């Protein structure tokens, strides 16, 4: 089957079905690099760097890792600077509050993004106003994109003909 992932399962290891890392439940039968990307705040490059730093085969099934390896993996996700991952790979560089480089994952990352948007709205910046009115923030056009929901003010031709026929009969 083209495009199928080859999962490596080490001999003598048992697979666990569900693994919980950083508050997210992950499938234990899929490769580590694929499942790490499902954690909010972790992209492909960061997941690849973690596998390289910890010397784990990224195509190995996540459920085949031991408890110690899983603890080390979660610690590396939360504190990547301790494992030698460069600061330019972190998702929260020069935090506005304390000026430190951080890497947030899971619910912490999602909460921080919401707080950043809320701060922009309170400061009434350009980005904050765009967020407040649910418009595109990063310069996209508004004519053809960002439109969600049903159309307003447009009547389909079948409905229009049905209305005209009912008016003519009366």
Bridge-partner residues for 26, per DSSP? 19
pLDDT at 47: 93
**8 A C-beta contact, residue 124 and residue 130:** no
pLDDT of residue 22: 86
| Rounded Cα gap, residues 123 and 129, in angstroms | 9
DSSP type of residue 16: P
Domain 18-89: state its class: mainly alpha
- Block means of pLDDT (10 residues each) for the chain, 170 residues, are 70 82 88 92 93 92 90 92 90 87 89 93 94 87 71 66 76
How many C-beta atoms lie closer than 10 Å to residue 134's C-beta?
9
pTM tops 0.75, yes or no:
no
pLDDT at res. 140: 83
The pLDDT of residue 3 is: 61
pLDDT of residue 50: 93
Q: How many CB atoms lie within 10 A of CB 138?
A: 6
Q: What is the pLDDT of residue 151?
A: 58
Separation of alpha carbons 71 and 21, rounded Å? 9
Query: At which residue do the structure tokens 């951080």 appear?
Result: 102
What is the pLDDT, as a whole number, of residue 76?
A: 92
Instruction: Give the per-residue pLDDT at 124.
Output: 94
The pLDDT value given to residue 150: 58
Distance CA 7, CA 119 (A): 43
Could you state, in order of their start, the residue ranges of all structural domains in the chain? 18-89, 107-169
């Amino acid at each position: 089957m083209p495009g199928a992932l080859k999962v490596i399962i080490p001999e003598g290891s048992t697979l666990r079905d569900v693994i919980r890392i950083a508050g997210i439940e992950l499938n234990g039968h899929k490769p580590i690099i694929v499942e790490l990307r499902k954690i909010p705040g972790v992209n492909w490059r960061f997941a690849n760097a973690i596998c390289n730093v910890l010397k784990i085969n990224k195509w190995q099934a996540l459920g085949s890792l031991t408890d110690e390896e899983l603890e080390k993996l979660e610690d590396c996700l939360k504190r990547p600077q301790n494992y030698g991952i460069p600061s330019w790979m972190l998702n929260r560089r020069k935090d506005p509050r304390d000026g430190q480089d951080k890497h947030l994952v899971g619910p912490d990352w999602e909460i921080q993004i919401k707080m950043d948007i809320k701060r922009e709205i309170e400061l009434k910046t350009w980005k904050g106003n765009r967020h407040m009115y649910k418009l595109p923030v990063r310069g996209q056009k508004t004519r053809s994109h960002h439109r969600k929901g049903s159309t307003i003010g447009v009547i389909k031709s079948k409905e229009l003909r049905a209305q005209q026929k009912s008016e003519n009969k009366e």
